[in-house]
Structure 1
Amino acid sequence: MSLILTFLGKGGVGKTATAIAVARAFANQSKQVLYVGQQSGEELSMRLGLTLTSDPQNVAPNFTAVNLQSTVLLERYWDKMKGLETQYLRTPFFKEVYGQELGILPGMDAALGLSFLRERDAEGKYDVIIYDGLGDLETLRMLGMPEILGWYLRRFKQVLTGSAIGQAISPFVEPILRSILQVSSTDDISQQAGEMSSVLTRGQQAVNDPSRVAAYLVTSDDPYAIAKAKYLWGSAQQVGLTVAGVLARGHAHLDDDFAPLSIYGIPEGVNELTMPDRLSPLFAPKPIEIDPIAKQVKLFLPTFNKKQVKLIQLGPEVTIEAGDQRRNIFLPKELAGKQATGAKFADSYLLISFG
């Protein structure tokens, strides 16, 4: 398993330069590093000194890089799905549709990027994967995708199982799941849903585990950059992503803005950056803690106040809305069925109590 890191902040504060500097430092520590860019244009290729493609290339010893192209990835996944469809279906109907014809719909970039990260992590070849995505909100939505898809799956599973539409789409679900999610073959749509749920659960657990996935804020002393970093900090908590610390460029003094995070100043033009121990993700506040004995859910929601947070409880789940993000918390069996009796803010934490 790899440590997956990403960097969040306002455009122009040096996120990409910081990410590359961190990648170089890990590589010089004899860590196998994969730098995953997902950006348009030639900027990444110019920064790294070679023409990047969707296939990993060696930049330096222990340092490999890609710049993902969604059209290339979509074509590859489509061809894989068509091969499985031919294998498992008597009358394939995708055979006359070619990957080269497919256009990119909104949201596909994130889904394709997440699938690529999952595959590279599963390979076990890399100690560190650094993701430099299309944009910060898109990155957060991508990392929150396993949780959101899991919610949709839970909500619609009962509708599809045994229904006419469920039986109609069942022959086509299996090859899609096998090509994208790499689950095993089965003709039972309920079992398919169960295996897909297991894959999504593992993805969500990885994002929620600071030893597996973490983010760092990058900012300067510009008030707009600070405001954007604070917003992204709170939004990251909504997808369960641990923000490990703040990398402050120039002479920024930010202790009052980002407490209790550790802040580390970095000079302009740095080309190699070793992360200090105090910026370990394991020292950062956990986005969520559930205490069944105390009958309490504790969410770390910095930069938000009670008026900016909406709480909805339907059945065994609680939905938290904040920062243009919704987080669905599936309650453990000890709290399932119990009604929320109160919610309050204390030291940037939202405390939800259950009766």
Structure 2
Amino acid sequence: MRLILYLGKGGVGKTTTAAATAARAAELGYRTLVVSTDVAHSLADALDQPLGAQPTPVAANLWGQEINVLDEVRRHWGTLQTHLQQLLKRRGVNEVAAEELAIIPGMEEVVSLLHIRRQARAGDFDVVIVDAAPTGETVRLLTMPEAVQMYAGRLLSWDQGMVRLARPLMRAMLPSSDVFASLPQFIAEVEELRATLTDPAIASYRLVLTPERMVLKEAQRAATYLALYGYPVDGAVLNRVLPPDSAGDGFWQRLAATQQQYRRQAHELFAPLPIWEAPYEARDLRGLDDLRALGRAIFGAEDPTRVFFRGTTQELVKEGEEYRLRLPLPHVELDKVTMLKRGDQLFVEIGSFRRELILPLVLADREATRAVFRNGVLEVRFGPPPPSA
């Protein structure tokens, strides 16, 4: 079973790329489901066929699905939230606290994850390909297992009176006669979900980007946080690339030259990940024939469902009050290391190699004190946080 999630900034072509990968996988004989988790669905438009909230046959070996998150939330939440609020207020809980206690954070993300997990475990498909929401929402979605686990742990510490009040809420979420008695099992299931999403043999995360400065910046942030939470990234698709010798007036020539600059930067920024390139088409791509052709253009003779990269692109380790950032750079020759830090950006030069990094927020106000390059790995040390005012 393979689970492949495409994510990136809105408008970079995630939906088309996910659909093209699915069409190519189905063409190779895999039973393939392509799923959209974005509230503003456009997967049906890319496939040029109507889709439902359940897997819908599209072609041989290919199914499509647009998860109706809002309906699922209403079904599991709806009047229950209001009922629980009134119940809590009658027991003396003030109005603001009642509203807070009646809401489980990230309900939409939980619903999406449960859908994806259900499809992945059912065994009906060889590969599930996810057209994810824009980057920020997707990273939030992927952090939900930790949030739900923390919230469930807090529920275990409630006193028995509060437990009696919250039972109707939890019964709506979990198929159990006494949910609070089975909360440890629920936490174990959340851990299993995270294990699936972080298993590099099962799940792969692929960034979709275009040769533009702002898009590359957001993709860097996504790669940083995916690495921070242990989600395995195995490649990136550079979309809408003009040929370097584009003909036409000066505008197209200048645009192609600018794209080439960002194209080279993308290959440097995301090394050692493989970068696939998709051409800039002169017309809208829609329908299976166009999608199959695009899938072949991106992956060539490669099987798009295989794992293309194993290992970490960066690792953050805490040591006392300090942090150590490890960056595998296996193809870089050792030379003098030059380093410059500006806020949450770190610029590293090793000989002729230059790498620009977006740092997690925990490192933004810390000083980069030392950089060492050994055995193909760059280690950057960050000192303790500055003293508070």
Q: Distance in 1 between matches of 2:6 and 2:267?
A: 19
Q: Distance in 1 between matches of 2:125 and 2:76?
A: 22
**Which sections of structure 2, spanning at least 5 residues, go unmatched?**
81-102, 244-262, 282-292, 329-339, 346-358, 364-368, 383-389
Q: Distance in 2 between matches of 1:198 and 1:120?
A: 19
Q: Quick check: 1:272 aligned with 2:299?
A: no
Percent of aligned pairs with the same residue?
22
Cα distance change of structure 1 residues 50 and 121 upon mapping to structure 2, 3 Å threshold: same
Normalised to the residue count of structure 2, the TM-score between the two structures is: 0.62
Asked whether the 8 Å contact 2:313–2:327 carries over to 1, the reply is no
Count of residue pairs brought into register by the alignment: 291
Asked whether the 8 Å contact 1:242–1:287 carries over to 2, the reply is no
Q: Which amino acid aligns with 1:193?
A: L
Asked whether the 8 Å contact 2:235–2:309 carries over to 1, the reply is no
Output the aligned Cα RMSD.
Answer: 4.1
After superposition, give the CA deviation of every residue in 1:23-71 in whole Å (9 maximum; x if it has no partner): 1111112111111113355632222122222121111111101112223
Asked whether the 8 Å contact 1:36–1:129 carries over to 2, the reply is yes
Counterpart of 2:118? 119
Q: Quick check: 1:197 aligned with 2:190?
A: no
Q: Distance in 1 between matches of 2:327 and 2:278?
A: 26
Cα distance change of structure 1 residues 206 and 40 upon mapping to structure 2, 3 Å threshold: closer
Normalised to the residue count of structure 1, the TM-score between the two structures is: 0.68
Asked whether the 8 Å contact 2:210–2:238 carries over to 1, the reply is yes
Within a 5 Å distance, the mapping from 1:179-198 to structure 2 comes to 179=175, 184-186=176-178, 189=180, 191-198=181-188
Cα distance change of structure 1 residues 20 and 284 upon mapping to structure 2, 3 Å threshold: farther
Asked whether the 8 Å contact 1:5–1:214 carries over to 2, the reply is yes
Q: Distance in 1 between matches of 2:317 and 2:124?
A: 34
Cα distance change of structure 1 residues 228 and 174 upon mapping to structure 2, 3 Å threshold: closer
Shift of residue 74, structure 1, vs aligned partner? 2.7
Q: Distance in 1 between matches of 2:136 and 2:65?
A: 21
Secondary structure of the 1:241 match is coil
Asked whether the 8 Å contact 1:211–1:282 carries over to 2, the reply is no
- Equivalent in 206, 223, 242 of residue 232 of structure 2: 242
Q: Quick check: 1:176 aligned with 2:199?
A: no
Rg comparison, structure with higher value: 2
Counterpart of 2:354? none
Asked whether the 8 Å contact 1:285–1:300 carries over to 2, the reply is no
Q: Distance in 2 between matches of 1:207 and 1:306?
A: 33
**Which sections of structure 1, spanning at least 5 residues, go unmatched?**
82-103, 310-321, 327-342
Q: Distance in 1 between matches of 2:184 and 2:130?
A: 29
Within a 5 Å distance, the mapping from 1:1-355 to structure 2 comes to 2-40=1-39, 43-77=42-76, 107-154=106-153, 156-157=154-155, 159-160=157-158, 163-169=159-165, 171-172=167-168, 175-179=171-175, 184-186=176-178, 189=180, 191-249=181-239, 250=241, 252-253=263-264, 254-269=266-281, 271-273=294-296, 275=299, 276=302, 280-285=307-312, 308=344, 323=360, 347=377
